[in-house]
Amino acid sequence: MGSFEAGDVTVRLTGVSVHTNHGVGAAEREVGQRMVFDLELLLAGCAATATDELAGTVDYGAVTEELTGAAKARSYLTLERLVTVIGETMLERFGAVERVTVRATKPEPPIPVVMDGASVEVTLSRGEAS
């Protein structure tokens, strides 16, 4: 095979279901509810495309552990803040990640209409994390 540069890789974790305590209502924070998370991680120049070594990418298990830990660490009123904290955590913890998109969905939001869910999504890039 020829010599190629490491390619960009997108890693997606979808449908990560976690019991959380986020929301404006007291019941949402006290009793909690199931929330579903989707993550998209851009690994620019991912070395694992050439080396086949874990050191050149991200460990999905470690990413999931960081996601669930950040989702449960404290209670936020807004999903906007929650997804931002999760995105910042991914950029801080995983040096190979250049950009992260985090979506949090409440499958059964406390709204008196039937819907598939309410979601908030944020995209952060390296250098933008606070």
Report the CATH number of the 9-125 domain. 3.30.1130.10
Measured distance CA(101)–CA(48) in Å, rounded: 21
Q: What does the pLDDT look like over 73-85, one tens digit per residue?
A: 888 888 999 999 9
Domain residue spans of the chain: 9-125
Average pLDDT score over residue span 82-89? 96
Residues making up the chain, counted from first to last: 130
| 88 Cβ contact list (under 8 Å, min separation 6) | 124, 129, 130
Q: pLDDT-based confidence at 13, cuts 50/70/90?
A: very high
Which residues are identified as catalytic? 106
Q: What does the pLDDT look like over 30-75, one tens digit per residue?
A: 666 889 999 999 998 877 777 777 777 889 999 999 999 999 988 8
pLDDT of 130 over the 70 cut: no
Measured distance CA(67)–CA(107) in Å, rounded: 18
